[in-house]
Structure 1
Amino acid sequence: MAAAKASTMPLISKLYCSSSQVVLVVRRRPHVVNGGGFVVTDCSQKVVFRVDGCGVLGIKGELVLKDGNGDALLLIRRKGGMVEALSVHKRWKGYTFGYEGSQKLVFTLKEPRSSCLVKNNAIRIATEPNGSSREWDFEIKGHFPDRNCSIIDSIGNIVAQIGVKKEVDELMASKDLYHVVVKPGIDQAFVFGVISVLDYIYGESTRC
């Protein structure tokens, strides 16, 4: 039991950290205006998460991750302003909601701009509090639009894989429907918070 607890990483909530590997399905929300978001279901087709995009929220550069009951878990915003304009990275910040409506920063995702000044074009994520000298804790490997990418930690361990089941069913190759495998102990809400940002970056279901 001690080993299982040590491997659990509840960034949003331990409710979303499973002791075993979990396979979830992402699909675009049907019959919704452009930028409506997507729904995440488990193997029994029960809704686990919903993501509202700018077509629902009416605000560009903002996303909300909700649980299956529709309660907000994460508010994700793209940082703007002059500092953002001068930076070589576009920054996204994910916040949890406190009991009294307060917001707590959970992660920062850096989206590199297309520039010769950027040596490493990797999308990287830092969690709060970091508690180490590292600038980042997770990195995206592969290409999200192809549904063939992974979220890896700073040691190189895969914590989540996107699109790994598509060879089983031709339908899984669709952009509108794909699998995500989340490794044991990893916070699934955090994983789908990251995926919602990737979805927006590449102009898919959450972006207007």
Structure 2
Amino acid sequence: MAKVYPQTVSSSRSPISSKQEVFILWMKSLIPCSKGCTVFDSDGRLVYRVDNYHIKCSRQVDIMDAKGKVLFTVKAKKLSILGSWEGYRSGNTGKNKEKPEFRVTKVVNIRKVLGFLGKVYSFKVVVGLDKNQPCEYVMETQICKSSCRIVDSFGKLVAEVKRKITSSGVVLGKDVLTMVVEPYEEQCLIMGLVVVFGLIHRKL
């Protein structure tokens, strides 16, 4: 993708695609003096945005669509020793209003803590907490690298974020990333998990 700023705002799009979708994450807000990130589709159209008007690494972050409608609110748990985040879907009503859609919790691997082997952080992701049968994912992110992988309970890849590489093989800056979402995965939900990834790396 040659352009960083989109020519148009993306129109209403299906949150789930039957094919693999590639997005570009620019870990900057389009609003001056604001922290956040901006997400474009493969055609360079604005799809998602996070604008943090307060301070970097806020304990609460809103994920919006291109028109500014809040889709998810991600909150960091205050009393969590290891690190825990919850995502609340906008529009939930009734008994599910205060129940998170997903929860991300850091997993402790004693071998890696003691020996720093692999330098990989693992996080347990539980999705569908407002339903009777939630499912589990695992999110892995490498220390000092702007990359993460999300896999389901069977080890199947769900989504991946890594540094953007141009068609000529040039690796762009740390603030420009590629997010690949596999078919039949809810894209705005994956975006919520990627926001947690950004908070972990103190990018938002």
TM-score > 0.5 by shorter chain: yes
Paired letter, 1:75: T
**1:111 positional shift:** 2.7
Amino acid at match of 1:105: P
CA distance, structure 2, for counterparts of residue 176 and residue 43 of structure 1: 17
Counterpart contact for 1:144–1:198, Cα < 8 Å: no
Could you say what secondary structure the match of 2:122 adopts? coil
Q: Is the 8 A contact 2:102 2:128 kept in 1?
A: yes
1:69 to 67, 70, 79: 67
Using the TM superposition, give the Cα deviation of residue 61 of structure 1 relative to its aligned residue in structure 2, in angstroms: 1.0
Which structure features the higher share of helix residues? Answer: 1
Task: Give the aligned residue type for 2:178.
Answer: H
State the distance in 1 between where 2:39 and 2:46 align.
6
Per-residue deviation at 1:171?
Answer: 5.5
The DSSP-based 3-state class of the residue aligned with 2:125 is strand
Give the direction of change, closer, same or farther, for the CA distance of 1:144–1:45 in structure 2 (3 Å limit). farther
Letter in 2 for 1:95: Y
The count of corresponding residues between Structure 1 and Structure 2 is 182
1:107 lines up with 2:102 in the alignment: yes
* Residue type at the aligned position of 2:125: I
Identity %: 22
Residues 97-121 of structure 1 show CA distances to partners (whole Å, capped at 9, x for unaligned) of 2266944410000135798897995
Runs of 4+ with >6 A deviation: 113-120
1:124 maps to 124
Task: Name the structure 1 match of 2:156.
Answer: 157
Aligned position for 1:91: 84
Relative to structure 1, is the Cα distance of residues 31 and 169 closer, same or farther in structure 2, using a 3 angstrom cutoff? farther
Name the SS for the 2:83 alignment partner: strand
1:110 maps to a residue whose letter is T
Q: Is this contact kept in 1: 2:38–2:46, CA < 8 A?
A: yes
Q: Label 1:201 to 1:121 Cα distance change in 2 as closer, same or farther (>3 A).
A: closer
Q: TM-score, normalised by structure 2?
A: 0.74
Shift in Å, 1:52: 2.6
Greater relative contact order, per chain length (Cα 8 Å cut-off, separation 6+) = 1
Q: Which amino acid aligns with 1:149?
A: C
Equivalent positions of 1:130-145 (< 5 A) are 131=132, 137-143=136-142, 145=144
Distance (Å, rounded) in 2 between the aligned partners of 1:65 and 1:203: 16
Ranges in structure 2 where 5+ consecutive residues have no aligned partner: 1-12, 115-119
Point out where structure 1 has 5 or more consecutive residues left out of the alignment: 1-13
- Does the 8 A contact of 1:22 with 1:182 survive in 2? yes
